[in-house]
Chains A and B, each alone.
Chain A
Amino acid sequence: MERNSSRDTTALEEPKDQASLEDSSSGPDSGQVHDSSRRKFLVNSGYVLGTLAVGGVISSLFGCAKDGEDNADSSAPADDNKEAAAPNYNRALMYFTQAQFRIVEAATERIFPEDESGPGAKKLGVAFFIDHQLAGDWGFNGRDYMNPPFFAGEKEQGYQGRLKRRELFDIGLRELDNYSQTTHGKGFAELEPDQQDAALKAFETEEVKLTTISAGSFFKMLRSATLEGVYSDPLYGGNLNMEGWRMRNYPGSQMSYLNIIEKDFTKIEPSSLQAHLASH
């Protein structure tokens, strides 16, 4: 529970600019609300007395580990113990080709574009998020029932295809690019934003007819994966620096809302699982 107060105030008061976004500054959970609520919780329940002592040990251990990306904070004011900012090692590809990655980056940015309220999917790292997801269980439909026989079902019976998500992405992205080549003579990533919107719309409404997969279902999957990348914990590679959460005043992972639950809307600086692990 011992915390570095200078880091706390930094995270609270520093407005996040472009640079801090790219460099993924550290975000120890912070704020008056949070602190006092946690203290109050300890008093209330007596639950964590044992954990408190242990928490101190664990937090000092994690405090020493300096190679994690989230410990690197190039935007924060100079700090006596500061080491050189580490690169974000999460920013590499596990599944997509570069060409696929560029299409996904462009398409997700149209689904969740940058505007005056904050960054879009591209800056938030959504394409990296989707890439990483496709490389694992989700991409292989590891926990879905994929046994034959396969029959085309009624709409109410849900997905009945034999293709896995990574295969659906391969086909969907290729078709999106084909469609762009046919209509504009350029790849999807090279189109103007409004042309990209029109292409995505043609998929969404199934104006585009594909033989192997449904263009509409592919778009739906792309849209929901985009929102997952915007709003999941930054540990998965999207929601960079919690900017997705910050834009909608979602506080992320907080231990307690006991002291605001009866109150009117209260703005709370977000906190991530990384901070939770490091602070206990």
Chain B
Amino acid sequence: MAKTLPKTDVVIVGVGWAGGIIASELTKSGLNVVGLERGKERKTEDYYMVHDELRYSMRYEMMQDLSKETITFRSNENIRALPMRQYGSFLLGDGLGGSGVHWNGQTYRFLPYDFQMRSMTTERYGKNKIPEGMTIRDWGITYDELEPYYDKFEKMAGISGEENPLGGKRSNPYPTPPMKKTPSMQMFAEATKKLNLNPYMMPAANLSENYTNPDGVARAACQYCGYCERYGCEYGAKADPVVTVIPVANKTGKFQIRTHSNVRRILHKGGKATGVMYIDVTTGEEIIQPADIVVVTSYVFNNVRLLLMSELGKPYDPASGQGVIGANYAYQVIKGSAVGFFEEKQFNNFAGAGSLGISIDDYNGDNFDHSNLNFLHGGVIALSQTGARPIQNNPVPSGTAAWGAEFKKKSLHYANRTLSIGAQGSSMAFKHHFLDLDPTYKDAFGDPLMRITFDFEDQDRELAKFLAERCSEIMKEMGASHVDYLKELGPYEIMTYQSTHNTGGVIMGAEPGTSAINNFSQMWDADNVFVVGASSFPQNAGYNPTGTVGALAYRAAEGILKYREKGGLLV
């Protein structure tokens, strides 16, 4: 028999970036908020021994324990989905701060085109440009409408950067100046300018200088130690929820975080949520937390899974294309990159920061003419210097033996003589790419795992090839003695790390029927439920998602306060 606790104003499921931002905004306005976090508590002092590649990168210290819960995957509906038994393609976060702790901090804003992709594509190229089965949509919000929330997120996190010459209009400059420019970044800047492209410093959550944010939170500058992605920051220099928004919420005295609390169901009646049911994983006890408003802010997969398990919203049916929960799952095309080997020059590849880099958007969005191309969209191209840690970074020119004397010689030789230019290819939604509940495999509580049905399409193959060629041109211009780049994108596979930028499943839109939530992240089918995160992206952009997730979270917080006053659907 579940224990029922006293009712609270708002209950938040998952305390990462989205949950932390919303908790901070709502508690500042006087609401009582309970944050349920399935993982453990975290603090900066945890990272005293963080420069440990084996523990954090290879053994996934910060990540979800897959023995308790994973996802299943199949390339298409004719194949039996099987569990992702070990980590590979993407890394699922866990614990206070969620994936917001082990990120690199690359904090782009999406392009205006991203938000109106369907209408702008049709307008410029005609509706036949969008191939059969591709279900890209407008977001029901424009870049200009979201701009103030981007600004808010950037000020809170102290994003370091300079204006993107090809980006949307900004109301304010970045709160801190760009990060330092390394010799390889300088070379990229010169090469791209020579090619008539428009380089700009990568927007970074690593902090180029000491910074105090509007909430009064002071943080120290980045030391370029080279341990960001998959690691927590021992300086608190990298913005994460634990060092920014969560302390602000805590200070109000109105935020109660319960760690080790795994939410299994949203409880609802007559189109309204009444609270959530969760397990205290330390005791196994079932607990009901009643609330006026339920905010779902876990990672993409658990946002979708929780709604499906709770039978909230209409599940997506790929046969008919009807229903929304689980629809428009998208990913990213990350393999279209180039590696350059320099015989004459060595670099400090071991040093760096997660978002130390320089980017161009000339081949992103619709910033270039697609009339004669067999794909839509593109991706940001960047040279970044994140710290080439030695277990995972052993680049050798193609044709080199993978082990033995030759491999040793070449991998030592090129360790500091290699640069790479990467592209974050966007990922379009398709009718047959979706998320649903696996019929066979279960988590530690006996609940079904999330099932992913996804593969790369012609769109992705063309895009990857195109972006790899552009990366290779820049690398050649930079003077590499030898350049290797992707010639052909194979099928999607779950074993190789690509990107933790999974999106969709609870998408945002202008009207119910084709979307699950409105542009305040409020569910059309249950007006006191808000589902916030990259799960709301109708398709994925050619950038890291966190800046946009942060902006959507600030907007959702505003929506929740509005809803608290007036009730009803906000759009």
The contact of A111 among B60, B75, B79, B403, by CB within 8 Å, is B403
Q: Can you name the residue of chain B whose Cβ is closest to the Cβ of A154? A: B79
In the complex, how many angstroms separate the beta carbon of A238 from the nearest chain B beta carbon? 9
Q: Contact check: which of B79, B223, B409 meets A115 at CB < 8 Å?
A: B409
Contact B49–A277 (Cβ < 8 Å): yes
B564 CB within 8 Å of chain A: no
Which residues of B in the span 316-351 have a Cβ within 8 Å of any Cβ on A?
345-348, 350-351
Digit string of B470-506 for contact with A (CB within 8 Å is 1, else 0)? Answer: 0000000000000000000001111100000000000
Given the complex, which residues of A lie within 8 Å of B73, measured CB to CB?
A: 156-157
Q: Is the CB of A117 within 8 A of B408?
A: yes
> Chain A's nearest CB lies how many Å from the CB of B330?
18
Beyond A145-B85, A255-B225, A261-B224, is A273–B390 a contact (Cβ under 8 Å)? no
> Does B176 touch A at the CB level, under 8 Å?
no
Question: What are 10 A-B interface contacts by the 8 Å CB criterion?
Answer: A112-B408, A120-B408, A145-B66, A145-B86, A159-B495, A232-B52, A248-B390, A250-B350, A260-B348, A266-B348
Which residues of B lie under 8 Å from residue A37 when comparing CB positions? 223
Query: A54 CA to B241 CA in the complex, in Å?
Result: 27
Cβ contact of B493, chosen from A137, A143, A155, cutoff 8 A? A155
Expressed in whole angstroms, the minimum distance between the Cβ of B107 and any Cβ of chain A is 20
Contacting residues of chain B (59-85) with chain A, CB-CB under 8 angstroms: 59-60, 65-67, 69-70, 73-75, 79-80, 82-85
Please name all residues of chain B whose beta carbon is closer than 8 Å to the beta carbon of A22 when the two chains form the complex: none
With A47-B235, A159-B85, A250-B350 known as contacts, the answer to whether A110 contacts B404 (CB < 8 A) is: yes
Identity of the chain B residue whose Cβ is nearest the Cβ of A161 in the assembled complex = B85
Q: Give per-residue flags for A258-270: 1 if the beta carbon is below 8 A from chain B beta carbons, else 0.
A: 1011111110000
Task: Specify which chain B residues have a CB less than 8 angstroms from the CB of A209 in the assembled complex.
Answer: none
Chain A positions within 8 Å of B166 at CB level = none
Q: Does the CB pair B491–A261 fall under 8 Å? A: no
Across-interface contacts of A8 in B (CB, < 8 A)? none
In the assembled complex, the Cα of A227 lies from the Cα of B493 at a distance in Å of 23
By a CB distance below 8 angstroms, the chain A residues around B134 are none
- Are A261 and B54 in contact, CB atoms less than 8 angstroms apart? no
Contacts A112-B403, A257-B223, A262-B182; A227 near B394 (Cβ below 8 A) = yes
Please give the distance in Å from A139's CB to the nearest CB on chain B. Answer: 12
Q: How far is the CB of B498 from chain A (nearest CB, A)?
A: 12
Q: Which residues of the partner chain B approach A147 to less than 8 Å between Cβ atoms?
A: 83, 441-442
B58 nearest CB neighbor, chain A only: A228
Q: CB of A252 within 8 A of chain B?
A: yes
The residue in chain A whose Cβ has the minimal distance to the Cβ of B387 is A257
B373 within 8 A of A: no
**A257, B224: Cβ atoms under 8 Å?**
yes
Give every chain B residue within 8 A of A110 (Cβ-Cβ): 403-404
Distance in Å: Cβ of B354 to nearest Cβ of chain A: 14
B416 interface residue, CB < 8 Å from A? yes
Q: B271 to nearest A CB, angstroms? A: 36
B440 proximal to A (CB < 8 A): yes
Select which of A138, A149, A236 is within 8 A of B440 by beta carbon. Answer: A149
Min CB distance B121 to A, Å, is 30
Q: B402 interface residue, CB < 8 Å from A?
A: yes
Report B-chain residues with C-beta under 8 Å of the C-beta of A47.
Answer: 220, 235
CA distance A250 to B415 in the complex (A): 9
Identify which of residues 365-424 in chain B touch chain A, using a CB-to-CB cut-off of 8 Å.
389-391, 394, 402-405, 407-409, 411-412, 415-416
- With A147-B83, A247-B412 as known contacts, state yes or no: A231 contacts B235, CB within 8 Å: no
Give the docked Cα–Cα distance between A227 and B402 (Å). 11
Q: Which of A138, A158, A232 contacts B53 (CB 8 A)?
A: A232
* 8 Å CB interface, B179-211 against A: 180-183, 210
User: Which residues of the partner chain A approach B223 to less than 8 Å between Cβ atoms?
Assistant: 37, 41, 255-258
Cβ of A115 and Cβ of B408 under 8 Å apart?
Answer: yes
A81 within 8 A of B: no
Please provide the chain A residues from 232 to 247 with a CB less than 8 Å away from any CB of chain B in the complex.
232-233, 235-236, 244-245, 247
Least Cβ–Cβ distance between A104 and chain B, in angstroms: 14
On whether the beta carbons of B412 and A223 are closer than 8 Å, the reply is no
Residue of A at shortest CB range from B444? A147
How many interface residues does A have (CB within 8 Å)? 70
Task: Say how far A269's CB is from chain B's closest CB, in angstroms.
Answer: 12
**Among A45, A227, A263, A273, contact of B221 (Cβ-Cβ < 8 Å):** A45
Q: Is the CB of B180 within 8 A of A223?
A: no
Is A253 among interface residues, defined by CB-CB distance under 8 A? Answer: yes
Instruction: Please tell me if A15 contacts chain B, counting CB pairs below 8 Å.
Output: no
Contacts A112-B408, A156-B493 given; does A263 touch B415 at CB 8 Å:
no
A146 at the interface (CB under 8 A from B): yes
Q: Which residues of B contact A44 (CB under 8 A)?
A: 210, 220-221
Q: Does A113 contact B (CB under 8 A)?
A: yes
CA separation between A245 and B390, bound complex, in Å?
8
Does A151 have its Cβ within 8 Å of any Cβ on chain B?
Answer: yes
Q: Find A256's partner among B66, B224, B411, B412 (CB 8 Å cutoff).
A: B224
Interfacial residues of chain B within 221-235, with CB under 8 A of chain A in the complex: 221, 223-226, 235
**Does residue B88 face the partner (Cβ distance < 8 Å to A)?**
yes
- On whether the beta carbons of B491 and A156 are closer than 8 Å, the reply is yes
**Smallest Cβ distance from A33 to chain B, in angstroms?**
11
Q: Which residues of the partner chain A approach B85 to less than 8 Å between Cβ atoms?
A: 144-146, 158-160
Instruction: Verify if A67 is at the interface (C-beta below 8 Å from B).
Output: no
A152-168 CB mask vs B (1 if < 8 Å, else 0) is 01111111100000000
| Closest 9 A/B residue pairs (Cβ) | A253-B51, A45-B220, A257-B351, A265-B346, A256-B223, A232-B54, A231-B390, A156-B493, A248-B415
A82: interface (CB < 8 Å): no
A251 contacts chain B at the CB level, 8 A cutoff: yes
Tell whether A170 is near chain B: CB-to-CB under 8 Å.
no
Segment 27-73 of A: residues with Cβ below 8 Å from B = 37, 41, 44-47
Q: Which of B82, B416, B495 gathers the greatest number of chain A CB atoms within 10 Å?
A: B82
Closest-CB distance, A169 to chain B (whole angstroms): 16
Q: Name 14 extra pairs, CB < 8 A, besides A253-B51, A260-B351.
A: A145-B83, A154-B74, A154-B79, A159-B85, A228-B391, A233-B51, A248-B412, A260-B348, A261-B182, A261-B224, A261-B352, A264-B346, A265-B348, A276-B51
Q: A231-B53, A261-B224, A261-B348 are in contact. Are A158 and B59 (CB under 8 A)?
A: no
Complex interface: chain B residues within 8 A of A226 (CB) = 403
**A147-B83, A250-B415 are contacts. A256–B54 as well, Cβ < 8 Å?**
no
Q: When the two chains form their complex, are residues A256 and B225 in contact, meaning their CB atoms are under 8 A apart?
A: yes
Are B494's CB and A158's CB within 8 A? Answer: yes
Tell me whether A228 and B226 are in contact (CB under 8 A): no
Q: A156–B75 contact, CB under 8 A?
A: yes
What residues of chain B lie closer than 8 Å to A138, measured between beta carbons? 59
Bound complex: CA A88 to CA B440 (Å):
49
Q: Are B180 and A261 in contact (CB under 8 A)?
A: yes
Check A258–B493 contact: CB distance below 8 A. no
Instruction: Give chain A nearest CB distance to B502 CB in angstroms.
Output: 16
> Is B54 in contact with A228, judged by CB distance below 8 angstroms?
yes
Closest Cβ of chain B to A72, distance in Å, is 22
- Chain B residues near A200: list those with CB within 8 A: 403
Q: A254 within 8 Å of B by Cβ?
A: yes
